[in-house]
Structure 1
Amino acid sequence: MASSEFTIKDLRHILHEAAGESDGAGVEAGTMDVDFVQLGYDSVALLETGNWIERRFGILLDEETLFDSVTPRALIEAVNAQLTVNGNL
């Protein structure tokens, strides 16, 4: 179980691991509000990303939450909200 906040750096690393993209390609401060689809990530990549997040941070992300989080900012906020609910933050 993680005890720290989920950050853009974490997301970039997990996208690299889950989707095979170099350093979470396209995810940076300037693209926090750009849809994952526009950044080149499909639904399979997002499902795998969600699985990696769940394992690494000890939380559960239902598919609705995952697919409603269409931008990096939205996903980071959803993960941090779940970490707060679980008492990990």
Structure 2
Amino acid sequence: MSEFTVEDLRQIVREVAGADTGVDVEGAAPGATYEEIGLDSLAVLEITARLAQRTGREIPEGLVEKETTLQDTVALLHAGRSAA
């Protein structure tokens, strides 16, 4: 498993959250929730799946929700373990 720095994870979260959603997350504050930047719960599920795939980190179902912030997601990924 490759190790990611916090900055790597920030960039990955911003890239994945912005991909195919039409939402500009580059300008979003790290403390903004997914809901505040215009993403609904279905989009968050898709983002979570893409983050797990991209990072190789296991993200338990329901842990990332529309009320979760971008910063919280980075912290979760940084503390996470590799997927089995």
| TM over 0.5, shorter chain | yes
Where is the helix percentage greater, Structure 1 or Structure 2? 1
Aligned counterpart for 2:77 among listed residues 72, 76, 79:
79
Give aligned-pair identity as a percent: 16
Instruction: Tell me the C-alpha RMSD between the 2 structures.
Output: 2.3
> C-alpha distance in 1, partners of 2:67/2:57?
16
Structure 1 runs (4+) deviating above 6 angstroms are none
Change (3 A) 1:65 1:27: farther
5 Å matches for 1:5-20?
Answer: 5=5, 6-17=8-19, 20=20
Aligned match of 2:49: 51
TM-score by length of 2: 0.76
- Counterpart of 1:36 in 2: which secondary structure? coil
> C-alpha distance in 1, partners of 2:66/2:35?
12
Gaps of 5+ in 1: none
Per the TM alignment, residue 68 of structure 1 is displaced from its structure 2 partner at its CA by 8.0
TM-score by length of 1: 0.72
Worse-superposed segment, 60-69 or 48-57: 60-69
